[in-house]
């Protein structure tokens, strides 16, 4: 099982502010939701909290963040 860090350790090459700027510039709705999940993880939220906020299953959120982490 892959451990996805949270807070400042998640996507260490990006700040929460940079992710937020990318979110505001993004036009693709699917990409915006995934960026929002990354922002929430960067803020230290759990997968359950992110899933509840975005109304997506925990496994979906986890899969998105794994893809972001291993790009």
Domain parsing of the chain, residue ranges: 7-69
- Look at residues 46, 22, 45 and name the one whose alpha carbon lies nearest to residue 35: 22
Q: What is the pLDDT of residue 14?
A: 93
For residue 35, give both structure tokens.
């960026």
38: left (phi over 0), alpha (psi -120 to 50) or beta: alpha
- Would you give per-residue pLDDT tens digits along the chain (71 residues)? 678 889 999 989 999 999 999 999 999 999 999 999 999 999 999 999 999 999 999 999 999 998 876 66
């Amino acid at each position: 099982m892959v451990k996805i860090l949270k807070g400042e350790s998640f996507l260490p090459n990006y700040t929460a502010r940079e992710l937020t700027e990318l979110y505001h510039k993004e036009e693709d709705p699917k990409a915006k939701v995934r960026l929002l999940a990354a922002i929430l993880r960067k803020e230290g939220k759990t997968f359950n909290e992110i899933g509840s906020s975005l109304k997506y299953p925990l496994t979906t959120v986890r899969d998105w963040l794994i893809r972001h982490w291993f790009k």
